[in-house]
Amino acid sequence: MNINMLMQQAQRMQKEVESNAKKAKEELAQTEVHAEAGGGLVKVTMTCRNVVKRIEISPELLQDDADMIEDLIAAAMNDAARQAEAISEERMKSANSGMGLPPGLAGLF
Q: pLDDT digits over 36-87, tens only?
A: 999 999 999 999 989 999 999 999 888 888 899 999 999 999 999 999 999 9
Task: State the total domains in the chain.
Answer: 1
Distance in angstroms (rounded) separating the CA atoms of residues 10 and 98: 13
Range of the domain at 40: 32-96
Query: Which CATH number is 41's domain given?
Result: 3.30.1310.10
64 falls within a domain: yes
5 falls within a domain: no
Total-model pTM:
0.70
10 falls within a domain: no
At 103, give phi and psi (nearest 5°).
-55, 135
66 falls within a domain: yes
52-57 sheet: strands from edge to edge: 32-37, 42-47, 52-57
4 falls within a domain: no
